[in-house]
Amino acid sequence: MSHESLVNEDWTRVVSRLGGASQLEVSARKTKAFVRRREIPDAVALLRLMLAYCLGERGLRSTAAWAASVGLADISSVALFYRLRQCGDWFAVLVENLLAAAAPKASRGRLIRIIDATTVPKAGPTARKKSELWRIHSAFDLPYERFGHFELTDQQEGETFDRIPVVKGEIRIADRAYLQPDRIAAVIEAGADVLIRAGWRNARWLDAKGYPLDLIVLLRAAKARGLIDQRIWIKRKEGAALAMRLVAVKKPADAAAEARRKARRDAQDEGRTISKETLEAADWVILVTSLGPDEFSTKDVLALYRLRWRIELGFKRLKSLIGLKTPPGADPRSAKPYLLAHLLIILLLEPLVREFEDSPHWAEAA
């Protein structure tokens, strides 16, 4: 979004999507983003000014000059920066309101939520040296083809499977980083089903009697058939073992060969010797789920997991179409609203993106 697009008729639609001028005024004052009328006449003008800076290619001085030239506000670059630092809580409220307005109702059918996170590096030499970053925890909702949750943290907070509130009846899909038994149990207890990719040794696998189960032995026994679909249990730190369904399918020869090459490269980069078991497991896609076989066949489970690529497209929009990048400056008080402004715009633009997107609809992908 450019400065120019912020002064044409599209801006009226943006204000309307955010609840209108009066609602913006209320939320801006409540969060203390807009306290008194001085250089900036109202909350709508403040929002337009902040988005022009955060989403444009110009710096503070150029943005202040642009605002004066179009009669939006007569403000210095220092005052503009101060106002930006006050907008973090306000932008968080606007993002939350947009998400809530479009939240799907469970009665409309099974919601599919793809859980993942993306990162943006922090600015400054100290942050680069320490590999500090901003982490955006997200849920991408299908069939609505939209982000249904955003949460912004720094690198101190990791990716957790139960961070995002459960919509009762949802099917929550995630990659192997989210194979967290106690957190999975919490999501299931809240009324969701889960589908998660697994590594052969990133869980303590158990059989029906509670004895340790060697997953590699199972894979070897099923090598000829190339398919596993059976009950399995996962040991938890707290509470009874988690009863799940193991679905594993052997990859095509070319995909398996590429997976083994990648496993060898990763081991070499990390300075470790790769095990025979890891190479064997690389031939398989291993999933665990709470979905029952009566309702979801093996083929259905595999098709559902293939939908995970949709969130990757969503992140691509954030980083290319919207231009999500490292916030200028190292001060979190300005970095937070800068990032939230980008999340706000992706939510405003998603209906248009879906309308013109060339990629296939999720149902066709399945």
pLDDT, tens digit, 9 for 90 and up, residues 69-103: 888 888 999 999 999 999 989 998 888 888 777 65
Residue 222: phi, psi to the nearest 5? -100, 10
The whole-number pLDDT of residue 107 equals 30
Rounded average pLDDT over 159-187: 94
Amino acid identity of 134? W
Q: What value does the mean pLDDT of the chain take?
A: 85
Q: Return d(Cα 339, Cα 55) in angstroms, integer.
A: 10
- 3-state SS string over 29-75? HHCCCCCCCCCCCCHHHHHHHHHHHHHCCCCHHHHHHHHHHCCCCCC
The whole-number pLDDT of residue 114 equals 93
Task: Check pLDDT > 50 for residue 144.
Answer: yes
The whole-number pLDDT of residue 219 equals 95
The whole-number pLDDT of residue 20 equals 92
DSSP per-residue codes, 253-296: HHHHHHHHHHHHHHHHHTT-PPPHHHHHHTTEEEEEE---TTTS
Rounded average pLDDT over 43-51: 91
Give every CB contact of residue 310 below 8 A, 6+ residues apart in sequence: 114, 140, 142, 145, 362, 365
Contact 61, 79 (CB under 8 A): no
The whole-number pLDDT of residue 102 equals 62
Q: Cα–Cα distances in Å, from 173 out to 64, 182, 264?
A: 44, 16, 27
Of 8-17, 129-138, 278-287, the least confident: 8-17
The whole-number pLDDT of residue 106 equals 41
The whole-number pLDDT of residue 154 equals 86
- pTM to 2 decimals? 0.74
Task: Check pLDDT > 90 for residue 352.
Answer: no
Q: Return d(Cα 332, Cα 178) in angstroms, integer.
A: 27
Q: Return d(Cα 212, Cα 207) in angstroms, integer.
A: 6
Rounded average pLDDT over 291-298: 92
Residue 5 confidence class, pLDDT cut points 50, 70, 90:
very low
Residue 74: phi, psi to the nearest 5? -105, 95
Of 50-64, 189-203, 260-274, the least confident: 50-64
Contact 185, 178 (CB under 8 A): no
Give the residue with greater pLDDT, 276 vs 123: 276
Rounded average pLDDT over 314-334: 78
Task: Check pLDDT > 90 for residue 307.
Answer: no
